[in-house]
């Protein structure tokens, strides 16, 4: 009996060793450039998820007036984002990419109109009131950064700067959906960013970034990292400005 047990364990240990050896020889999936970007900015994303604006949306405690301020700022931002996308489309090295980015620009403008029509009405904001509101310093800086980058930098850098807006909202939507929000308006916002169509759009832009990075030189890749991090940081600043009702010092 002892001999049989000894042989049984010897066989199991040998099998385990062989499995471990086979696993060790299996090539690990290569890390894409977009993986590098995300991993390098994981701390920014973590800070975004922990921001009281988003935790307040999730548990329903976010004051409606703060959400209203955010929505107004978002409509202003979307105009600039659409302009940057339109410029990016003219620089795209691939016709299909140019077509998608131009379509995304149009979608951004349509989303702006939807916000005016639906969300403003539910929040009690009139068109006239919204038109009087200026961008917060943080929102203005983010929009200006995207416009200037789109106008003056090559496509690889531009698409890296635009990617965080796509990707972070997708990830935030998935994270908040884990428990949802008791506030129907906030839940509708979450639903926007977990829709299958939006996931397809984000994935396509991620693939653009990986594709251009594959043939980019080291300097360009480093600048892509810089632009991605800058935009990611601006995403946090955008939510923070809305949460704190940020204003210009002179106003």
Catalytic residues: 165, 235
Secondary structure in 3-state letters for 188-236: HHHHHCCCHHHHHHHHHHHHHHHHHHHCCCHHHHHHHHHHHHHHHHHHH
Taking the C-alpha atoms of residue 6 and residue 90, their distance in angstroms, rounded to an integer, is: 71
Taking the C-alpha atoms of residue 149 and residue 135, their distance in angstroms, rounded to an integer, is: 19
Taking the C-alpha atoms of residue 27 and residue 77, their distance in angstroms, rounded to an integer, is: 43
- Rg over alpha carbons for the chain, rounded to the nearest Å, is 23
Count of beta carbons in the 10 Å neighbourhood of residue 108:
20
**What DSSP string describes 26-62?**
SPPPPPPHHHHHHHHTHHHHHHHHTSHHHHHHHHT-S
């Amino acid at each position: 009996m002892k001999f049989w047990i000894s042989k049984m364990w010897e066989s199991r240990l040998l099998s385990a060793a062989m499995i471990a050896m086979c696993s060790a020889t299996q090539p690990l999936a290569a890390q894409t450039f977009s993986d590098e970007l995300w991993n390098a900015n994981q701390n920014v994303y973590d800070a975004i998820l922990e921001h009281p604006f988003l935790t307040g949306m999730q548990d329903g405690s976010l004051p409606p007036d703060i959400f209203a301020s955010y929505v107004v700022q978002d409509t202003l931002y979307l105009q600039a984002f659409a302009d940057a996308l339109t410029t990016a489309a003219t620089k795209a090295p691939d016709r299909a990419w140019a077509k998608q980015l131009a379509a995304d620009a149009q979608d951004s403008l349509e989303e702006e109109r939807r916000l005016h029509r639906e969300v403003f009405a539910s929040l009690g904001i009139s068109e006239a009131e919204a038109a009087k509101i200026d961008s917060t310093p943080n929102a203005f800086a983010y929009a200006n950064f995207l416009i200037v980058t789109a106008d003056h930098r090559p496509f690889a850098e531009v698409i890296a700067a635009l990617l965080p807006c796509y990707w972070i909202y997708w990830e935030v939507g998935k994270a908040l959906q884990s428990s949802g929000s008791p506030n129907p308006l906030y839940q509708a916002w979450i639903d926007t960013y977990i829709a299958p169509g939006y996931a397809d759009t984000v994935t396509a832009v991620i693939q653009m970034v990986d594709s251009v990075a594959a043939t980019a030189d080291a300097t360009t890749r480093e600048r892509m990292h810089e632009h991605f991090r800058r935009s990611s940081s601006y995403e946090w600043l955008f939510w923070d400005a809305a949460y704190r009702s940020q204003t210009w010092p002179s106003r």
